[in-house]
Amino acid sequence: MNAKKFKKFFVSIALSAVLTLSSASSVFAATAQLVPAEQTAELTQSDDSDAPAIESSDAQNACASLTAQPGIRQTAASENSVTIQWSPVTNTSKYAVNISPFSSSSYRFLGYIGNTRNKAKINKLKAGTAYVIKITALNSSGIAISSRTVGCTTLYSKVKIKSSYASTGRYTFNMQTVNPSNSITGYKVVYQSSAAHKLITKYFNTRYSFTIPISGNTFYQVKIYPYLVLGNKRYVSSTSTDRYISNVITLQKAGNTNSSMSVKWNRTAGADNYSIYIKYPGSSSFKKVKTTTSNFFTLTGMKRNTKYGIKVIANKKVKNKVWHSDSKAYNMSLV
């Protein structure tokens, strides 16, 4: 074999070896898998049903309600006052006004009202508190002719949220039941997204649960105002309970090696940063491993055919409080 043919033969063998090794390498390369994790007790969100779940303590509170005897009613409310009105009583010289906490029958005398009036506004009361007002009609001799009572309430300045959660295209709030249960008729909800900055106002005529529509990857500022309907008029609290909410972050595969895997996600409008949580093999809980402003993360040191949990949460700081998006757990593995 001459030198020229030997050189071509050697190059052919070398090229064949390179192609063979490359092919073998591709056979043994790891394949990345990223799938939503099945919900466990740790990760399960609140029930997706619109029907509120009333706890035992709420069930007891729900049994109590504001009532009124015939001929007397509450006609207005603010956070520190109630207004009541009653039907005039003939042969009345004056009316005695007494007040008692809703859960007590210990009345305190407030004063007299002349017989030309049948309406009274009681001030300097506590917000979100129920009372019983008793109006006693007295004749010119000071003898009681009749007595009537009415349960009434001031407006709530703050309300408690029992639970809240995101689902596809919406966000649900389950509210803590108040006592008496009809001290709140419903909620005025004003919200806007960090992406659109457009105020949306909705009224929910329910005291238990309500759902607002949400879309995209953005934080929403939500202001909740409780209201009370008296007659045909809605009395809305002047102060709100505020929340910042966001949908879950959806993860996508972004590449891998034989011992690492990368994920990415769309940025959330209004978020300051993102926290990455990993559940390592053998662990029953997630551990925060990093907080970043990036929308990309790589987990290194992974073992083949081993399941790792991952979830990413968006964070938004408002004043001294950090609000978080809802979370969705994924399983990632190399096979």
Residue pLDDT, tens place only, 150-199: 999 999 999 999 999 999 899 999 999 999 999 999 999 999 999 988 99
Look up residue 40 and give its two tokens.
């466990």
Q: Tell which residue, 143, 212, 213, 130, has the closest CA to residue 178.
A: 130
Contact 75, 230 (CB under 8 A): yes
Dihedral sign, Cα of residue 286, residue 289, residue 292, residue 295: negative
pLDDT of residue 1: 52
Look up residue 25 and give its two tokens.
């390498």
Mean predicted confidence (pLDDT) in 192-211: 95
pLDDT band for position 32 (50/70/90)?
A: confident
The CATH superfamily holding the domain 31-44+248-334 is Immunoglobulins (2.60.40.10)
Look up residue 259 and give its two tokens.
């011992």
Cβ neighbourhood burial of 176 (10 Å; 0-12, 13-18, 19+): middle
Where, residue-wise, is CATH 2.60.40.10 in the chain? 31-44+248-334, 56-60+157-246, 63-153
Q: What is the pLDDT of residues 58-74, one digit of tens each?
A: 444 445 899 999 999 99
The helix (H) or strand (E) run that includes residue 1 is none
pLDDT of residue 36: 81
Alpha-carbon Rg for the chain in angstroms? 33
Could you tell me the fold of the domain covering 63-153?
Answer: Immunoglobulin-like (2.60.40)
The CATH superfamily holding the domain 56-60+157-246 is Immunoglobulins (2.60.40.10)
Instruction: Decide if pLDDT at 214 tops 90.
Output: yes
Mean pLDDT score across all residues of the chain: 86
Look up residue 14 and give its two tokens.
């070398």
Q: What is the pLDDT of residues 226-280, one digit of tens each?
A: 999 999 999 999 999 999 999 999 999 999 999 999 999 999 999 999 999 999 9
pLDDT of residue 59: 42
Complete DSSP assignment for 183-201? G--EEEEEEEETTT---EE
Backbone φ and ψ for 283, nearest 5 degrees, come out as: -100, 150
Which comes out higher in pLDDT, residue 327 or 27? 327
pLDDT band for position 103 (50/70/90)?
A: confident
Task: Write down the pTM of the prediction.
Answer: 0.81
Q: How many beta carbons lie within 10 A of that of residue 74, not counting itself?
A: 21
pLDDT of residue 104: 87
pLDDT band for position 335 (50/70/90)?
A: confident
- Residues 35 and 333: their CA atoms lie apart, in Å, by 9
Is cis: bond before 180, omega within 30 of 0? Answer: yes
- Residues 154 and 145: their CA atoms lie apart, in Å, by 29
Residue type, 108: R
